[in-house]
Amino acid sequence: MMKRTHSRTGFTLVELLVVIAIIGVLVGLLLPAVQAAREAARRMSCSNNFKQLGLALHNYHSAYDQLPINYGGTTPVAPLLNGPGSAEFWWQSSNFGNHELLSMLIGLTPFVESQATWEQISNPFPADTNNDGTPDITFPPMGPTPTPGGNDRNYYDPWMTDLPYLRCPSDPGRGAPAMGRTNYAPCVGDNMNRWNGGKNGDLTVNNWAMGVQSRNRGFFIPRDVTKFRDILDGLSNTIAMGEIATDLNDGDKRTSLAVTTSGTYQTNPNHCEQNFLDPERPQFWIDPDGAGTGQSPGDEPRNLGAATARGMRWANARPVYGTVNTILAPNKGVCADSWPENGAIAPPSSRHQGGVHILMGDGAVKFITDSIDAGNASAPFPNPGQKSPYGIWGALGTRGSREVIDMEF
């Protein structure tokens, strides 16, 4: 009599569980590697954007024998409804002139394959503010003040548009309350004294203008012309631009503005870092509405609102929106007094791990770690001719202080 044999064709429950466990372990091991590979790709794309801007900067200089002006633009030209100082004067004049608040990024648009944007900006721009299909206002060439608000300026498309070459893929910031965002900003060196330039942008006027020229020691000077020949330390030794993270409205010290009393950050740039960080979350400012902060009026842990934050207005040259300086090390906190036009401690920042991209004057893109030698963070702003107190980092920001870096950084 023949015996029947039964062959097993499936898995036991134990075997199935073992296989699932092995797959889970492999996924757990591989997922960080995949995430790291994706971030490496984003970081390379971010670096390539910066290289494109560096090439545009050199092409601009070749075309015009100067660098694009930071804090450039036009003054109001419209007839006034009422006299200067009235609300009508401000809003109407803001629509018909930009108060010389334009970033140097605007001048680069024709050199980064963004000719269409430049054509919109450099020509009269009709806008349909009533949403009835018919333009009812025409902005003049170079546009209105690059500031949001409940007025016709919100209908000026160039200021409200995200330009792809100004966005780092690692930065998740999107949408309101921002206008067009930027992750790249010009460098103004290791001093923010007398930041707003001469009277009406005329740098031939009085001692104020002389102070602007002597104390602002970076690659770009507000409302003044700089050329490659002015970079006496050498293009390869001077930072032209830096990366900035854009704000997520979460109180992150790198992107949300802490406000201090007038003059405080000039004598101690580290004031906000020393006083306003949340001890349990040192990457964030203390909640200004929290109990027991004990700060005096005008000295606030955090001041959010009206898009007053990092990277929120690509066309606006004011320090907090689109400027970097080499006072505090990368990824330190943003600190200013009551109005960001007056100046700010504005370090570069990024969503990359451990550092930021910077663009050198010769067009090279480097990744600078947060641990770079930044000297004495509490030292007052340097006087003209003084060695930067902010270490190698400060020296890299100055264009002509004879602080040439002879080492790799």
Q: Residue 324 has what DSSP assignment? A: B
Cα 316 from Cα 373, distance rounded (Å): 30
Cα 134 from Cα 128, distance rounded (Å): 6
Stretch 32-40: mean pLDDT, rounded? 68
pLDDT at 382 over 80: yes
Range from 21-25, 77-81, 370-374 carrying the lowest mean pLDDT:
77-81
Cis, peptide link before residue 164, omega less than 30° from 0: no
pLDDT at 3 over 80: no
- The predicted-structure confidence for 162-197, as pLDDT tens digits, reads as follows 999 999 999 898 877 788 899 999 999 988 765 555
- The predicted-structure confidence for 114-146, as pLDDT tens digits, reads as follows 899 999 999 988 887 777 777 777 888 888 888
Cα 131 from Cα 239, distance rounded (Å): 44
Stretch 376-390: mean pLDDT, rounded? 87
pLDDT of residue 106: 95
What element of type H or E holds 357? strand 355-360
pLDDT of residue 168: 93
Helix runs in 161-311, H state only: 206-215, 264-267, 271-275
Range from 83-97, 139-153, 379-393 carrying the lowest mean pLDDT:
83-97
pLDDT of residue 111: 94
Stretch 314-335: mean pLDDT, rounded? 91
Residue of 255, 368, 359, 372 lying closest to 47 (CA atoms): 359
Cα torsion through 310, 314, 316, 318, rounded to 10: 30
- The predicted-structure confidence for 64-79, as pLDDT tens digits, reads as follows 999 999 988 887 655 4
Q: List 72's β-bridge partners, or say none.
A: 102
- The predicted-structure confidence for 216-245, as pLDDT tens digits, reads as follows 888 998 888 889 999 988 899 999 999 999
Cα 277 from Cα 265, distance rounded (Å): 15
Confidence of residue 340 (pLDDT cuts 50, 70, 90): low
Chain mean position to CA 384: 26
Cis, peptide link before residue 177, omega less than 30° from 0: yes
Residue of 390, 398, 356, 354 lying closest to 374 (CA atoms): 390
Q: Residue 69 has what DSSP assignment? A: P
- Between residues 245 and 10, the one the model is more confident about: 245
- Between residues 313 and 8, the one the model is more confident about: 313
pTM for this structure? 0.83
Q: Strand 277-278 and strand 281-285: pairing? A: antiparallel
